[in-house]
């Protein structure tokens, strides 16, 4: 899973398809994608899609304190819009989104730092003084490399299902949950308990 996170959908699914050794060699990539998408939709419909624990609280706190926020994602527009539809109130806290999976944007995929540089450039005035004043939250190694490459401090929120020994040494901070995030470590207003 860690190897697939942070890459565009087509790249992730092609890698997954290549990694799985199917008994039936006539089983095509297109069949695989069709079944994968159907299974994902069934899973979302059955179990619901949820934000990671603590994310809504931290984002709400930062928004309440006037901290500008943006999204830099490897998703395409369709995936992004689907998430936005499910969590509309949450996405309202972000001034803009940069999507490397959207071909019309012509933004390099992570781990290239281009996506974070574009997100920084699109902040309205008053924009952060420099990239070092932009805190990035990531859930994967590829995203951490992109953020650090753009000169931005990065908090890696580790998926509890992944091996902690595999996490990035380049992240500014590694936490197991957004519930463990302490904004004051980065000069931001502390969360009120």
In contact, 147 and 116? CB cutoff 8 Å: yes
Q: Which residues contact 36 (CB under 8 A, 6 or more apart)?
A: 13, 16
- CATH of 55-186 among 3.40.50.12280, 3.40.190.10, 3.40.1710.10, 3.40.50.1000: 3.40.50.1000
Domain coordinates of the chain in residue numbers?
Answer: 9-47, 55-186
Backbone phi, then psi, for 17, in 5-degree steps?
Answer: -60, -45
Separation of alpha carbons 114 and 116, rounded Å: 5
| Model confidence pTM above 0.95 | no
- The SS3 of residue 36 is helix
Separation of alpha carbons 167 and 148, rounded Å: 14
In contact, 137 and 51? CB cutoff 8 Å: no
* pLDDT tens, N- to C-terminus, the chain (193 residues): 445 555 666 777 777 777 776 667 777 777 777 777 667 665 555 555 688 899 999 999 999 999 999 999 988 888 888 888 888 899 999 999 999 877 777 888 889 999 999 999 999 988 899 999 999 999 888 899 999 999 999 999 987 666 555 566 789 999 999 999 999 999 999 998 7
């Amino acid at each position: 899973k860690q190897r697939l996170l942070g890459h565009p959908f087509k790249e992730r699914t092609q890698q997954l398809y290549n990694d799985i050794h199917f008994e039936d060699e006539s089983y095509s990539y297109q069949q695989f994608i069709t079944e994968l998408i159907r299974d994902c939709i069934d899973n979302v419909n059955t179990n619901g899609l949820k934000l990671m624990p603590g994310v809504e609280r931290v984002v709400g706190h930062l928004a309440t304190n006037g901290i500008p926020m943006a999204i830099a994602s490897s998703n395409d527009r369709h995936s992004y819009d689907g998430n936005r539809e499910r969590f509309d109130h949450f996405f309202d806290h972000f001034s803009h989104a940069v999507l490397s999976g959207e071909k019309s944007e012509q933004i390099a995929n992570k781990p290239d730092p281009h996506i974070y540089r574009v997100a920084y450039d699109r902040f309205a005035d008053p924009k952060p003084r420099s990239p070092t004043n932009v805190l990035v939250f990531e859930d994967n190694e590829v995203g951490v490399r992109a953020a650090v490459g753009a000169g931005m401090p990065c908090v890696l929120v580790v998926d509890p299902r992944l091996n902690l020994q595999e996490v990035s040494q380049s992240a500014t901070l590694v936490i197991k949950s957004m519930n463990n995030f302490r904004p004051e470590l980065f000069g931001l207003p502390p969360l009120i308990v």
